Chain A
Amino acid sequence: MSAVVIKNLNRLPKKRDHTYIDLELDLKINYSRNSSLNNINEQKDIRADYDINAIKNSIFNIFTTIPGQKILNPIFGLNLYFYLFNGISYNNGKMLGETILKGLTRYEPRVTVDNINITTDIENQQYTIDMILSVPTLNIEGLEVKGTLSESGFYFN
């Protein structure tokens, strides 16, 4: 069915409740409004992540993508698993921190990195990554984001 478009009637900008909105994977349904009397009017919507959660999505993707995996941007991503493979050590932890700093500065312009603290856990063969971030557009300062990098992958604590 073709739509009737009246170009002269400019749409008013929508007022959003959130600054950043991203899809939540794995594409789950957020809600479903359905009248049991009238199935035709069922309404569904996809679940989204908002603001700081949207930014966390991005950080997670930056950390877990190996360069070459993203087809249309092959240089995107940080090969953090490299530092696991090379062994858990102070030097490798330092390099891991520098890599994260560079990666976030490059691929996540919404945040500024205040501090990154890498803790080596040789016994469990893992790094604990403790980041202090600021998100100026959301008026957030000193946000602590903690994660663990181990052989099972990266996940937020």
Chain B
Amino acid sequence: MTEDNNTNQNYQLSFNSYAAFDATTLKSLMQQRLIDGGVFTDQIFEGSNFNSLLDVIAYSYHVLLFYLNRTANEASFSSAQLYENVNRIVKILNYNPIGIQTAVLSFSAAAYEELNEGIYTIPRYSYFTVNDTNYSFTEDLTFTKSFSGAQVLNDLNDSGLLYQGSFVQYPLYVATGESFENFTIVSVDIDGNNDLIDHNNIHVYIKPNGSSWRQYKNVNNLYLENSLSESYELRLNENQRYSIRFGNGVTGKKLNEGDFVIVYYLKSDGPNGEFGSNNLNGNRLFLYDTEAYQEIMREVRAAGTNILGSDDAIQLNFINTLPSSKFTYQEDANSIKENAKNTYKTQYRLINSTDFEKYISNNFSNLIQDVKVVSNFDFASEHLNYLKDIGLSEPNMDSRILFNQVNFSTSCHFNNVYIYCIPKVPQNDNKNFNRFLNIGLKTKIKKAIDGIKVITSEIIFQDPVYVSVGLGISTPDEIDNRGLYPEIISETKLKIKKSKNSFVSDASIKENIVNIFKVYFDDIKLGKTLDISFLNSSLFKISGIYNFSTFRYINNQLISTDGLSLMVYNPIYFAPNEDIRIINQTLTLPFFKSAFYENYDVLKNNIIIE
């Protein structure tokens, strides 16, 4: 059988034809080449040994080619799909994927009269435990008890937030002293799954050999730091564990051999840790206490800080009238790809409004529902102009605008960047709609932005203008002469004509209608388009509805229109015919406005089914 055969070395294949083969076609090729070679004959018979051998070779090739294709795809930014690979690829772009963000709770605090007057600091990592769920303070919070009686602690309420979870002290790490020293937090449950560590609450403390403890700061890029910068890079790696990287003495301070490293991180309970309103009420604040913690805090804190003791802590009363925000999962592969290119484009610099909006929505996704960022010109020409149009002689004196100017504005009034945010913390009810970011959250976001924004741009927060929506219909005479008024909403009714032979109950139809409104309006956004056509078509999809119309009686005279008719108005600055209108089609709100449905109970009561 052995013979020299030059024909066998001429494969007659193009250089890239390997990619065109699968197992079957490769087997055919091998069979054909064996036939051409003329040495063996039995490869064409399914039962032969040779045929079985070709099967194995062809299938192995097929599997290898599959892996080749997969790895080739997963190696490039544009085609990678797996989280692990996308995470690794974006490392080249210096993008740090965002991990889970725990639920956040705002609260109201008051001090009993037994607490002496003075300035107190609630130590970081102090916590509440309610039904095995912890909520913790992530930083030292200072408040003033200014008089002897019971006192509402407004400065604490304005600046403080509780984060779901409890702080965990990671075992002591002793540095080896190598450049860019790196270590990974491995924290797993009994099943080997990674614990949920809040992305924004990992704190690193270093005790250089023979010196005192220092708190290092988290930076996006060590290469931008100087040789003495006490900083580290934190990265959620492809295994969804956090790795901490220190400098090399040129970019970022280098750890020396024998330096101690202690990490505290906030371990979240995930969605199970979300709180309803009033869960916190009356619960006691516990102080975090370990030997290492006491030693670190003694050396890290400014001298003379009056730390709240356990005896003082029981003189504080905390309540939460609002439920917590929702737990936010980590970025998925698609989100990483989207954000990585944006971050690379801006290089962690915030230049235009999209940069600001993306940065805030990504990094504060557990706090912020929606955000809009506008220039000074847009703010003045639209928001201030709107306030002027509705009758404010001095728009700057509007309480919310003044409030934000006082807290955030500098004396310079040009080059401001105005940020409008809707917080994620839900409302208890829609009757007193005041979904505004508190000062604490605003300050937190401002601090994060200040280091990366354009130096000449000053950040000023603005609160959205919420407009109220309800059923509403009117006559031209009313609109032109007499003026619209909010009570039209309670006077207007929705008449539903049921389909013949429908077995759906009236109560069920009413419930479905209210649910459609809830889903539509609970997706609260700035500059939202109120699309009546969409609502109309959604109502038509409800089983049992044949037709519907909106109607109202004015002086015993019926006015009616097919489909939905809504009224939109500003519930704060209401005056007849000022920012109040009837809409039958589509209304796009300006960037500073958002809409909420005024009262679902009234809606339900005003649905009449025939």
A residues lining the B interface (CB < 8 Å):
2-5, 11, 13-14, 16, 19-25, 43-46, 48-49, 54, 57-59, 61-62, 65, 70-73, 76, 107-110
A22 proximity list for chain B (CB < 8 A): 40-42, 45, 48-50
CB-CB contacts below 8 Å: B1-56 with A: 1-2, 6-7, 9-10, 23-24, 27, 38-42, 45-50, 52-53, 55-56
B261 within 8 A of A: no
B58 proximity list for chain A (CB < 8 A): 72
> Do the beta carbons of B41 and A62 come within 8 Å of each other?
no
Interface size class of B (residues with CB under 8 A): 20 to 34
Residue from the list B38, B42, B46 in contact with A107, Cβ < 8 A: B46
Nearest residue in B to A110 (C-beta to C-beta)?
A: B45
Nearest residue in A to B3 (C-beta to C-beta)?
A: A14
**Chain B's interface: helix, strand, loop or mixed, by majority?**
helix
Chain B nearest Cβ from A10, distance in angstroms: 10
Known: A25-B49, A45-B1, A57-B47. A72 touches B55 (CB 8 A): yes
Chain B nearest Cβ from A5, distance in angstroms: 5
Nearest residue in A to B47 (C-beta to C-beta)?
A: A58
Chain A nearest Cβ from B37, distance in angstroms: 9
B49 proximity list for chain A (CB < 8 A): 22-25, 49, 57, 61
Residue from the list B38, B39, B48, B59 in contact with A54, Cβ < 8 A: B48
Known: A43-B2, A107-B47. A3 touches B40 (CB 8 A): no
A109 proximity list for chain B (CB < 8 A): 45
A58 proximity list for chain B (CB < 8 A): 42, 45-48
A16 proximity list for chain B (CB < 8 A): 38, 41
> Do the beta carbons of B47 and A4 come within 8 Å of each other?
no
B residues lining the A interface (CB < 8 Å):
1-2, 6-7, 9-10, 23-24, 27, 38-42, 45-50, 52-53, 55-56, 58-59
> Do the beta carbons of B45 and A70 come within 8 Å of each other?
no
For the complex, give the distance between the alpha carbons of A149 and B1 in Å: 35
For the complex, give the distance between the alpha carbons of A26 and B58 in Å: 19
B42 proximity list for chain A (CB < 8 A): 20-23, 54, 57-58
For the complex, give the distance between the alpha carbons of A4 and B9 in Å: 9
For the complex, give the distance between the alpha carbons of A130 and B284 in Å: 90
> Do the beta carbons of A21 and B41 come within 8 Å of each other?
yes
Chain B nearest Cβ from A19, distance in angstroms: 7
> Do the beta carbons of B53 and A108 come within 8 Å of each other?
no
Chain B nearest Cβ from A7, distance in angstroms: 9
Known: A57-B47, A59-B47. A70 touches B52 (CB 8 A): yes
Chain A nearest Cβ from B36, distance in angstroms: 9
A3-B10, A43-B2, A65-B47 are known; give 8 further A-B pairs, CB within 8 A.
A3-B6, A24-B49, A49-B49, A61-B48, A62-B47, A70-B55, A107-B45, A110-B45
For the complex, give the distance between the alpha carbons of A24 and B48 in Å: 10
Residue from the list A19, A45, A57 in contact with B48, Cβ < 8 A: A57
Residue from the list B10, B23, B48 in contact with A72, Cβ < 8 A: B23
Chain A nearest Cβ from B57, distance in angstroms: 11
- 7 pairs, A vs B, C-beta closer than 8 Å: A5-B6, A22-B42, A23-B48, A24-B49, A25-B49, A44-B2, A61-B52
Known: A72-B23, A72-B55, A72-B59. A48 touches B40 (CB 8 A): yes
Chain A nearest Cβ from B84, distance in angstroms: 29
For the complex, give the distance between the alpha carbons of A73 and B53 in Å: 13
